[in-house]
Amino acid sequence: MHSSYLTPPASNEAGEKDQYFYDTSVKIPTITTEERARQALRQALEGSTILDSYSIVKVIGFGANGVVLAAETINYLGSVEQVAVKLIYKAPASVYRPAPTNNDKIPSEIKILRAMATEPHPGLLRYINDFQDEKNFYLVTELFGTDWIEPTYKIQNSEGHYANNETQTLAPLLYYSQLWGPSSLPFSSGASDCWGWAYYESCIAWAKKTPKNSPAKLPIRVIKTIVYKVLIAMIHLHERLGMFHCDIKLENILVSRASNLDEPIDDYNVNIRVCDFGHSDFLIHGMKHIGTEGNAAPELVACKGRVAVDGAKADVYAMGAMIEKLIEARDAAKEDDFDLNV
């Protein structure tokens, strides 16, 4: 989750970056999420052959539970395919849990994505493969989304909005490859989600449309498109797959544009993918877990997991909370032409 709605992130998981990991049953030094991501990647790239069939391009994000890579592989048609590889950390051994193995219980996110692959939809992130070793689970999906944050830094620096943020890149990951020897991997601070899109559009508004420090004006035409496509994807998830998401929010909607970022902001073709199914489940089980409390339905917060609630209705409530954030960022309530009808 990002630290606040329109503040520049240090990574696509800013806000989680400053969390620390500490297992009270195993006395180990505390480390940041970035440090843990670097450790996990070095172990995967240096001490395991599990990623040998992929050409790793760069790190595109990290958080409390894992790190995501952009990679390329040869698909069954013999052509190069761009994919995202998500490393999901396994819990370390302790007095309460056995040491991880090569055949541990599959996380629910992977199970859900496997099931979703039976009824694919263009608005839901596409599952490709998964595997595991002693340290991590590896989830392979389509690579989707525009990096909205990198161009905003150029805008900020050129316009002088953030004089202290001249460089926002993270240091590359240095590791030793058995095949290539000493190697480095770009460590991205980008964000391809709806939060990143809103932040990019806000910077465009500051730089080109309004005086400095004026409220951001997100393009209503694009808001309508994003909301419509997310709703269609959720209808498929609820009615065709019989599942709920449980954590609908800006950060879990990947956003991509077909046209160049230099073109007028109202003219590009935006597309979306709903992602992050770590809290998802089947509707028949009901919803007990809270994904993000600020977006959770009141009945879900009130029962505190003691009673299962209707997951589809809770997703609709979370959708409303997400739309409200987009409207607040646009300040559209004061405009005469405001209309969410698509």
The stretch 36-61 carries a mean pLDDT of: 90
**Is a pLDDT exceeding 60 seen at residue 209?**
no
Query: Which residue segments constitute the domains of the chain, with CATH numbers given?
Result: 20-158+170-185 (3.30.200.20), 194-334 (1.10.510.10)
Partners of 58 in the β-ladder: 70
Q: Are 152 and 199 in contact (CB under 8 A)?
A: yes
pLDDT in tens, 179-208: 778 989 998 767 899 998 888 887 776 555
pLDDT of residue 201: 82
Convert 48-82 to b/e letters by CB count within 10 Å (16 or more is b). eebbeebebbebbbbbebbbbbbbebeeeeeeeee
Residue 299 has pLDDT above 70, yes or no: yes
Q: Amino acid identity, residue 14? A: A
Tell me: the pLDDT tens digits for 118-154? 999 999 999 999 999 999 999 999 999 988 887 777 6
Residue 117 structure tokens: 């692959």
pLDDT class of 1 with cuts at 50, 70, 90: very low
Distance CA 182, CA 228 (A): 47
pLDDT at 335 over 70: no
Q: Which two tokens stand for residue 309?
A: 């609630």
Q: Is the pLDDT of residue 42 over 70?
A: yes
Percent of the chain with pLDDT over 90: 41
Task: Please report the pLDDT score of residue 218 as a whole number.
Answer: 79
| pLDDT, tens digit, 9 for 90 and up, residues 63-83 | 888 999 999 998 878 889 999
In order, the DSSP letters of 209-248 are IS-TTPPP---HHHHHHHHHHHHHHHHIIIIIS-EE-S--
- 86 labeled binding residue: yes
* φ, ψ of residue 270 in degrees (nearest 5): -90, 145
**Torsion, Cα of 316, 317, 318, 324 (10° steps):** 110
Q: What is the mean pLDDT of the chain?
A: 79
In sequence order, which ranges of 98-163 are alpha helices (DSSP H)? 108-116, 149-159
Neighbours of 94 (CB within 10 A): 12
Q: Identify whether the C-beta of residue 50 lies closer than 8 Å to the C-beta of residue 133.
A: yes
pLDDT at 40 over 90: yes
- Split at pLDDT 50, 70, 90, the class of 320 is very high
